[in-house]
Homo-oligomer: A and B are copies of this chain.
């Protein structure tokens, strides 16, 4: 939050009640939230906000390098707080759960692929889709 305020000030932008509410809810809820879900949550604490402010604040948080936007295969964007560590995602096609993982060997091989193509790798997206352990166990469902 303090960081958010600082980044806003740097840019000559203003801190407002709504921005704080949205940011607080976002960082509180944490990971992989959609705009719709965030909107619903923020409404609880600040019933007047509109989608516009949600989306504008999400963009702002992205521009402040505090948030990352992800597009999985279900049409709507999801947002997560930026993390020190890079990670990729496993998405359960049954229950929708999103599991994060890291794998350095894969990252290294991706660099190697880019090198072979003579290209410069800037970022990547890797998503594994399947059935998670819980669902395989006939779990929570």
CA distance A71 to B125 in the complex (A): 11
CA distance A121 to B136 in the complex (A): 11
Interface string of A77-99 (1 = CB under 8 A from B): 00000000000001011000001
* A109-B109 contact in complex given A120-B136, A128-B124, A129-B122, C-beta closer than 8 Å: yes
A127 touches B124 (CB 8 A): yes
* A120-B125 contact in complex given A71-B71, A73-B71, C-beta closer than 8 Å: no
Chain B residues with CB below 8 A from A68, complex form: none
B119 touches A124 (CB 8 A): no
CA distance A107 to B120 in the complex (A): 21
**A114 adjacent to chain B (CB < 8 Å):** yes
B126 touches A130 (CB 8 A): no
A128 touches B121 (CB 8 A): yes
Chain B residues with CB below 8 A from A116, complex form: 101
> B-contacting residues of A (Cβ < 8 Å)?
71, 73, 90, 92-93, 99, 101, 103, 105-106, 109-110, 113-114, 116-133, 136
Known: A101-B116, A106-B110; 10 extra A-B contacts, CB below 8 A, are: A90-B119, A99-B119, A110-B126, A119-B128, A119-B132, A120-B130, A121-B128, A121-B129, A125-B126, A126-B127
